[in-house]
């Protein structure tokens, strides 16, 4: 393994990107063997409009998701509890907890930074296709509720002409 006694700059361009069957794209940026990390990894997750990630869990490691842009719902646990984070919010996913990320917009993408206790970034991911039907069952209502929230927000005062 390579060792380092200085910071290592890893831009996302040229990093290892994996496009999943669900349309999302994971980009591993800080992970073994790209850097000499022993206990963490980091990357980004891009979810196009109208897409939902395949339910998954990290068998033995924790994860933190940081919403950078877009509107997402996180469905987690065996009951698929809903969290509605805003940009800047962080979501902690304990080890072995199933979760799925729903892009609430049909058009705009969601961009998420992911931090994991898995130095290989995706070594301990287990996809859970058995939960897909339960996730899909919730998506339409989540998107409908999201649209209702957007449409019912108060808009700023209209400027009057002089």
**Tens digit of each residue's pLDDT, the chain (162 residues):** 456 788 888 888 778 898 999 999 999 999 988 888 889 999 999 999 999 999 999 999 999 999 999 999 999 999 999 999 999 999 999 999 999 999 999 999 999 999 999 999 988 999 999 999 999 999 999 999 999 998 887 665 555 566
Question: Under 8 Å CB-to-CB from 127, ≥6 apart: which residues?
Answer: 54, 55, 56
Task: Specify which residues 82 forms β-bridges with.
Answer: 75
Burial of 121: CB neighbours in 10 Å, binned 0-12, 13-18, 19+ = buried
User: What Å distances lie between residue 90 and 26, 67, 78, CA to CA?
Assistant: 17, 7, 20
Report the distance separating Cα 137 and Cα 58, nearest Å.
23
pLDDT at 56: 96
Report the distance separating Cα 121 and Cα 20, nearest Å.
15
- Residue 61 near residue 124, CB atoms below 8 Å: yes
pLDDT at 70: 97
Report the distance separating Cα 130 and Cα 13, nearest Å.
34
Cβ of 115: how many Cβ atoms within 10 Å? 16
pLDDT at 1: 47
pLDDT at 160: 59
pTM: 0.88
């Amino acid at each position: 393994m390579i060792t380092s006694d200085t910071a290592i700059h890893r831009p996302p361009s040229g990093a290892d990107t994996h496009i999943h069957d669900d349309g999302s794209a994971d980009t591993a940026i800080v992970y073994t063997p790209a850097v000499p990390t022993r206990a963490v990894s980091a990357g980004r997750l891009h979810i196009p409009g109208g897409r939902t990630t395949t339910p998954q869990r990290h068998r033995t490691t924790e994860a933190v998701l940081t919403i950078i842009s877009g509107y997402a719902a996180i469905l987690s646990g065996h009951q698929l509890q809903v969290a509605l984070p805003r940009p800047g919010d962080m979501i902690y996913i304990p080890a072995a907890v199933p979760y799925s990320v729903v892009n609430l917009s049909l058009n705009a993408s969601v961009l998420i930074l992911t931090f994991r206790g898995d130095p290989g970034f995706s070594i301990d991911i287990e996809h859970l296709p058995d939960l897909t039907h339960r996730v899909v069952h919730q998506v339409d209502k989540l998107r409908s509720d999201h649209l209702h929230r957007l449409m019912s927000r108060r808009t700023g005062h209209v400027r009057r002409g002089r």
